[in-house]
Structure 1
């Protein structure tokens, strides 16, 4: 399968993995900063995010998107890369580092913590259940119609709620909706949520899934917006035991869920300080 990518610069490879409701284009500013610092920055479309890009095995679980990241490193002709992941892209980055740590030099993740505390919060934390209402709604058959209604007003609502005080520029908003409007894409992207609460059926996939949730053995940086109304920053506290080669955790003030767009200079400075150290 050919994967659409955005890229900038040349040098050591850095992969930037996007989440939902988002697409590779939101990395443009970070790609440019990385390129200026001497990196080859590449942002692929995640499986399902383009016509004909549906998961070949039907899986949208992190072990599958993590395998995609590892495969892309190889296809791009590199032995190793730094990984930057946001939202579902963070889940893919964790999985990739767990499935083959030799291919990942450093790990940067944003907005979605690593560890069982996230799943536990969906079960027991009323505040997080309120924030995550959309995940449960996406399990229903009416989700596609609701999301598409009135020029994807549902998507506007998520961005507004998750990043209070931030307004995605009109041109970027239109480009994102164009991605989601493409034939078949919305249903495929909702697959990430529809598979989030159930394990894969076959034993080999179950084993991969288990491995993908293990302890991270590469140096790691975690960033979370202080005002994130999608995933509470508090869920990222206490992750250190799951990162055996060091974890730097930073809560970014004045930022919500899409912190790399809301505070681009601050986030890029943190990322580059970590990658260059």
Structure 2
């Protein structure tokens, strides 16, 4: 893999890439980095004839902090489509997203459907399903980091002891049994090791799910406009059976499949927690490549 930098939507993005061919833009989540999350998928996509590009999102080092400080989802969606333009993507490009990257992918694929031929998302389902889950007792308890991160003390707690809180949550809560999350942790240290970077990452939650706006009609309208509509492109949605943050059952997964457009697929990965692209990479890569090769 080689490193690169490019300006898109007013942000200086750092990325890793490999391969030649149609663009495959790979979007990571919190508290991760593009190179760590997609270290297994990038060479597999390159071998399959894609130009696989994994940027770090705005605010996550070494990508620049946004000049206006915005970590709003609408700007992250605009970033993805601006990166498509800046990287000379065409209508054959594919969009891959995990966690926050999945939320961005749902929005970007709808905002500019002509840019993306297929979508692969994992770990955060479409808004209609994520929203329903997040307001249940189970969802509120399992996603308690959403609420903790709103507190002023969160910055101090997360920064303490070389970000020990994030290391522990990656190892003990957000990955499945027996998985060694060291590589993910090292990516987190590189991306969020400076106070301004950590604050930007927390602003993902504070500005998009803040206590004063979440649940208001204005908030619901904004979120619904961004990632309420479903992609029209064939979509692959993947989820871990051991995900302790966003817990899905077979019935919900079937409903997601039924809601997605023709040619779409869904699948559980057995024994996998919340970071699907890395926990069982051979299986994840197999499902992604098979989906991309499928004739629709």
**TM-score, structure 2 normalization:** 0.85
Residues 105-147 of structure 1: CA distance to partner in whole angstroms, max 9, x if unpaired? Answer: 0000000000223223222x22221111111000110111011
The 1:96/1:57 distance shift into structure 2, 3 A limit, reads: farther
> How many equivalent pairs are there?
273
Q: Aligned equivalents of 1:231 and 1:102: distance in 2?
A: 30
Q: Does 2:260 match 1:243?
A: yes
- Contact 2:56 2:63 survives alignment (8 Å): no
- Contact 1:227 1:254 survives alignment (8 Å): yes
Tell me which residue corresponds to 1:70.
Answer: 81
Trace 1:169-180 onto structure 2 (pairs within 5 A): 169=182, 173-180=185-192
Tell me which residue corresponds to 1:12.
Answer: 22
Q: Does 2:133 match 1:133?
A: no
Trace 1:1-277 onto structure 2 (pairs within 5 A): 1-26=11-36, 27-50=38-61, 53-80=64-91, 81-123=93-135, 125-159=136-170, 160-165=172-177, 166-169=179-182, 173-197=185-209, 198=213, 210-234=225-249, 236-240=253-257, 242-277=259-294
Q: Aligned equivalents of 2:133 and 2:16: distance in 1?
A: 35
Moved more, 16-25 or 240-249: 240-249
- Contact 1:84 1:93 survives alignment (8 Å): yes
Q: Which runs of 5 or more residues in structure 2 are unaligned?
A: 1-10
- Contact 1:115 1:239 survives alignment (8 Å): no
- Residue 130 of structure 1 aligns to a residue in which SS? helix
The 1:58/1:223 distance shift into structure 2, 3 A limit, reads: same
**TM-score, structure 1 normalization:** 0.90
- Residue 4 of structure 1 aligns to a residue in which SS? strand
Provide the alpha-carbon RMSD of the alignment. Answer: 2.3
- Residue 236 of structure 1: how far off its partner (Å): 4.3
- Residue 162 of structure 1 aligns to a residue in which SS? coil
Residues 31-78 of structure 1: CA distance to partner in whole angstroms, max 9, x if unpaired? Answer: 011111111100011111126722345432333212111111110112
Moved more, 89-98 or 147-156: 147-156
- Residue 2 of structure 1 aligns to a residue in which SS? strand
